[in-house]
Structure 1
Amino acid sequence: MKPRHTPETPTPPVGPDTTAQVGQPYKTFLPIVTNGPAEPTPPPATKRLVIDPLTRIEGHLRIEAQIENGVVTDAWSCTMSFRGLELILKGRDPRDAWVFLQRVCGVCTTVHALASLRAVENALGISIPDSARIVRNLLAGSQMVHDHLIHFYHLHGPDWIDVPAALSADPAATAALQRSISPWPNNTSAYFDTVKTRLGGLVGSGQLGLFANGYWGHPAYKLSPEANLLMTAHYLEALTWQQDAVKIHALLGGKNPHPQTYMVGGMAIPLDPNGSTAINNTMVAALRDLMTRVQTFVEQVFLPDVLMVGAAYKDWAGIGAGAGHLLAVGDYPGRDGTLWLPSGVITDRNIGDVANLDQARITEEVARSWYDDSAPLHPSGGVTAPRYTGPTPPFDTLDVSAKYSYGKAPRYGGIPMEVGPLARMLVAYGRSNPTVRSAMDGALGHLGLNPGQLFSALGRIVARAVETKLLAAQLPVWLGELEENMRSGNLSMLDSSRWDPQTWPASAEGFGFTEAPRGALGHWIKIEGGKIANYQAVVPSTWNGSPRDGQGLRGPWEQALVGTPVADPARPVEILRVVHSYDPCMACAVHIVDPKTGETTSIKVR
């Protein structure tokens, strides 16, 4: 895990021992919320805050924010390193592109392979066999479930959980809290006493390891000691749980991360009920067992925890809203070609009016990005020509009136779009998908919120949890489809009719979409003479983390930060909450290295 923002002292203090209630828990009268310590002395009226890098994400992100009277009034999202995979791919065999593109990131790996395969197959007119479609759905769906859950506990969780404050918890009361929210079996006083003892040893050593460099004791934390202990226990349990989730990838993809069984035209792993080196009956049984365990943890731990934390932080349903424009490309095709998660576009928070997606309206701008100037371009004709014009490191602040990021500015019809779980769930909700509507309405009813309040930091967390629950339940359904194909003898996994480049046209263009955990992912390819002539990838964190465009419109993170309260600029946990609610993955847009300064974390207030 990357280091978090470093406080003035390396060893965080134990959180406050306080029991005053300011909220009620899920299905219990035990306190899950407490008043924190007194508010710090109000900061000066105007400050410029620089967080570089913003950690607990994948990659390197710099956020600059203007704070006036304790509230963010303006913000700038700055990706500080250049990726360049589009240039690396030129001249290569398009059948190999997916292998390179998985290496964009070590977290969202399989999604880049899938988008690349679909782009090549679209360009060459290839339709994959049904069983290959199912296996691709299983790989993508299981990765989504794994990624969402790990994000909540290990990347976003410390924004809401005051870990050392758990040392003042009553293990018996914590056990009662656990029993009140779900039937999860780790619910005894002895169990939580063991977790508390382990945590106490860690804090007492002064070397907190995973929990180092947090903003512990911050007044923005609201969970009671018992809720903090519960969440800390689940943080640790999730580290073990993910072993089951990644085994699904290891079985179907050969390894995790970066599965190796993809292939243009389908999958390179055979399907044979009795084959010793294939997806066979034994493997299907193992997959079903893993999926059952994954689903149990999601339903009995993850979703109840999200609802518990959401009830404590309901005020965050009014913070981090953004501009209210959402885009989903949809994913998980069925046998008839329909998408399990539909595509669509929502503007101005109008959930009841979902427009059809037209990929021809997507452009990328570089007016405020470190590239050679160009007009807004569709990705099929996109140009990646980096030209850094910022200050020489080390520096304090960027000149945000000029170019200030390596991130491009994707736009849809000239409008900045938020992508991700919130976009997917609300597009499906707006299209009256009954499964999504029922699950979302259940979560909203529990929290006492309405759909419009999902446009917020809390809304993104809730949408991510609901999506995870639905996907975890869908994985066994797709596995059942695969079993059905095995029983009926529908074992084909590869269409090799267009494998030979001699069968390709002299020139071809195509695009491929998939929904990465963080949102809409698109790859565009141009093939000439059997080689890649141009390649462009527009990734979720490029959409969400874009800088301003030529019209001066903020990107989604920049807009969402405006209006965010900041109690203590030296410990800007509120800014982390907003940005982390999108689950940034800057490695998809940048590569990280700073060999000159060696600086890992810096927070500067002016």
Structure 2
Amino acid sequence: MASERIVIDPITRIEGHLRIELEADNGRIGDAWACATQFRGIERVLQGRDPRDAWAFAQRICGVCTGVHAIASIRAVEDATKCKIPPCAELIRDLVSGMATLQDHVMHFYHLHALDWVDVMSALKADPAATSRLAASVSPWPNNSATWYAEVQKRVAASAEGGLGIFSGGYWGHPAYRLPPEANLMALAHYLEALSWQRDIIRLHTIFAGKNPHPNYLVGGMGCSINLNNQITVNQVRLDEMAGMIDQAKRFVLEVYYPDVLAIASFYPDYAAIGASSPNLMATGESAWSCSGAPAGGVFPAALLMDGNYGTAHPFESKRVAEFVSSAWYSQPEGDRQGLHPWQGRTEPRYTGPKPPFKQLSDHPKYTWCKAPRYDGRAVQVGPNARIMVAVAQGHAETVQLAKEGLGKLHAGIEALNSTLGRTYCRALESVILARRMDQWFAQLNERIKSGDTATFNKERWEPSSWPKQAQGMGFMEAARGTLSHWIEIENGRIARYQAVVPSTWNSSGRDPGGQRGPYEEALAGGGKHPLLDAKRPLEVLRTIHSFDPCISCAVHVLVPGGGGVEVKVR
């Protein structure tokens, strides 16, 4: 019997509301439950609506991963109506989605995850000159002067005198922090630089899609017009601006983000063997770096790695996807033990948990709003590490080379990518590949424009009269957090059924009827070896959960001891 029950609610620095309940004994986690405490229900909102409007509602699922939901939704409608979009529109979608993913990965590391590894208060003890020398040895980034680091240190010290501001509530001084003060100061400076960087590069969305967040899309293509001789369309001035944004994004990834991850990782090598999750990983192939991919074809097709065999890729079959509600607050006529394919799925909420306030949710068979997707009956992990590992298994040359170089520096094998450190590293590695792809897509778009191909919309299947009376479609997209799919049924020009199976549904799912934990739960409890040095400051838990980049609303938390355990509450 575990000696301590621990509740962390909410897990902060994520999107949405996630509660983690743990059993721990002697500094190790014995069991874990991931409890999503927020009901979404967009699927119900969409029923009966015009399918051409679905994307605008669907991207409101989240305030971060907005455009990817729009594209997955649009692709589902285009799949159902057999609509083909112009090449320029596809490239524009790639550029918009690619920049969103680069922004997301960098923001995740610096603003949501880095402080799990970086001690802010330690940075105040650093020697700015020594920090400058350290930074120069890691990267040619221009902001490496001692003067710059002294200024950052001064700003943070002033903030500390007033209560630390955005850095308040951290576990500073925790024994699990290992970086020397100079490395902490370097990473903290890049944290602040990334705030300005991400604001500048995402302006690409305003040129192609009108705004950010929630950029505009269009079934059949994109709503922007290309005319080099018109001041209000995508013209040469706008294209030159985009070239600068892409170059700015690429340089930060190559000279700051990727080197920082490798440098920080070198102080935490044991985390390459901590937080291993489901031995089954899934990615929809080349669409990892393009929104053009349905789960087939391409340089490397959609595939899964099964049962811990990371060298053999198995082809993806959409019919093998099913969602279970055995641990989730939903009802279905087929019963809780029956998994339903998304085209047969329902979203019928039925809360049967304890009346708030409550101490535990995991004492009940149903403890979350998150369904449990399974592939061929298996719990499956999705995300950047799944994409990298699937690509390596299929011999994708660029990925194999980069992964080999990075793992060599970390002194680890391919299995280390299924870990807390591995998920964090793969996100940075993927950003290097994606930054290069941005250059390629932009060059291809420019070549098409120069040749006179400027079409961004196909109107042939726009009118419902051109659709079949009944149709089904699915839209896949590799979002920043993993495999995203939207599934639609259309009847007489209206949405009859709609389901979204999102990355954090796969990863944050609860138990299925067979008792399999979801990936978050398995990463914490699998093997019973995950450390937890101080239950009142569960830093190690945050490292592992944040490594998935959960998308389940950010808050400041304080620790409140109570009863026989510890609960982290929002104030």
Deviation of 1:333 after TM superposition, in Å, equals 5.7
- Cα pair 1:51 1:602 within 8 Å, conserved: no
Q: Kindly provide the amino acid, as one letter, of the partner of residue 313 in structure 1.
A: Y
Q: 1:404 aligns with which of 342, 367, 371?
A: 367
Deviation of 1:393 after TM superposition, in Å, equals 0.5
What is the match of residue 186 of structure 2?
230
Deviation of 1:272 after TM superposition, in Å, equals 2.0
CA distance in 1, matches of 2:211, 2:388: 30
Whether 1:362 aligns to 2:318 is no
What do residues 490-515 of structure 1 show as CA deviations (whole Å, max 9, x unaligned)? 11111111111111111111100001
- Cα pair 1:102 1:112 within 8 Å, conserved: yes
What is the match of residue 57 of structure 1?
14
Aligned length in residues: 553
Q: 1:281 aligns with which of 230, 236, 239?
A: 236
For residue 267 of structure 1, give the secondary structure of its aligned residue in structure 2.
Answer: coil
Whether 1:426 aligns to 2:389 is yes
Q: 1:345 aligns with which of 297, 304, 314?
A: 304
Deviation of 1:154 after TM superposition, in Å, equals 0.4
Q: Kindly provide the amino acid, as one letter, of the partner of residue 231 in structure 2.
A: S
What is the match of residue 380 of structure 1?
343
Task: Give the direction of change, closer, same or farther, for the CA distance of 1:600–1:122 in structure 2 (3 Å limit).
Answer: farther
Q: Kindly provide the amino acid, as one letter, of the partner of residue 534 in structure 1.
A: R
What is the match of residue 254 of structure 1?
210
CA distance in 2, matches of 1:358, 1:272: 41
CA distance in 2, matches of 1:323, 1:501: 43
Task: Give the direction of change, closer, same or farther, for the CA distance of 1:358–1:289 in structure 2 (3 Å limit).
Answer: same
Deviation of 1:446 after TM superposition, in Å, equals 1.3
Deviation of 1:322 after TM superposition, in Å, equals 0.9
Residues 411-420 or 324-333, more deviating: 324-333
Q: Kindly provide the amino acid, as one letter, of the partner of residue 359 in structure 1.
A: S
- Cα pair 1:116 1:523 within 8 Å, conserved: yes
- Cα pair 2:342 2:499 within 8 Å, conserved: yes
Q: Kindly provide the amino acid, as one letter, of the partner of residue 510 in structure 2.
A: P
Q: Kindly provide the amino acid, as one letter, of the partner of residue 105 in structure 1.
A: C
Q: 1:565 aligns with which of 522, 531, 534?
A: 531
Structure 2 matches for 1:502-541, cutoff 5 A? 502-541=465-504
- Cα pair 1:66 1:75 within 8 Å, conserved: yes
What is the match of residue 568 of structure 2?
none
Deviation of 1:163 after TM superposition, in Å, equals 0.3
What do residues 63-92 of structure 1 show as CA deviations (whole Å, max 9, x unaligned)? 001001110010000011211100000100
Deviation of 1:603 after TM superposition, in Å, equals 6.7
CA distance in 2, matches of 1:599, 1:485: 51
- Cα pair 1:52 1:602 within 8 Å, conserved: no
What is the match of residue 49 of structure 2?
92
Deviation of 1:277 after TM superposition, in Å, equals 2.3
Whether 1:319 aligns to 2:265 is no
What is the match of residue 450 of structure 1?
413
Deviation of 1:399 after TM superposition, in Å, equals 4.1
- Cα pair 2:169 2:558 within 8 Å, conserved: no
- Cα pair 2:271 2:421 within 8 Å, conserved: yes
- Cα pair 2:280 2:381 within 8 Å, conserved: yes
- Cα pair 2:12 2:557 within 8 Å, conserved: no
Deviation of 1:599 after TM superposition, in Å, equals 9.3
CA distance in 1, matches of 2:444, 2:557: 51
Whether 1:133 aligns to 2:96 is no
Residues 395-404 or 487-496, more deviating: 395-404
CA distance in 1, matches of 2:300, 2:66: 20
Whether 1:79 aligns to 2:36 is yes
Deviation of 1:189 after TM superposition, in Å, equals 1.2
Deviation of 1:199 after TM superposition, in Å, equals 1.2
Q: Kindly provide the amino acid, as one letter, of the partner of residue 85 in structure 1.
A: I
Q: 1:295 aligns with which of 250, 259, 270?
A: 250
Identity of matched residues, %: 46
- Cα pair 2:293 2:476 within 8 Å, conserved: no
Whether 1:154 aligns to 2:111 is yes
For residue 298 of structure 1, give the secondary structure of its aligned residue in structure 2.
Answer: helix
CA distance in 1, matches of 2:73, 2:22: 36
What is the match of residue 574 of structure 1?
540
Unaligned runs of 5+ in 1: 1-43
CA distance in 1, matches of 2:89, 2:362: 49
Whether 1:491 aligns to 2:454 is yes
* RMSD of aligned Cα (Å): 1.9
Q: Kindly provide the amino acid, as one letter, of the partner of residue 578 in structure 1.
A: T
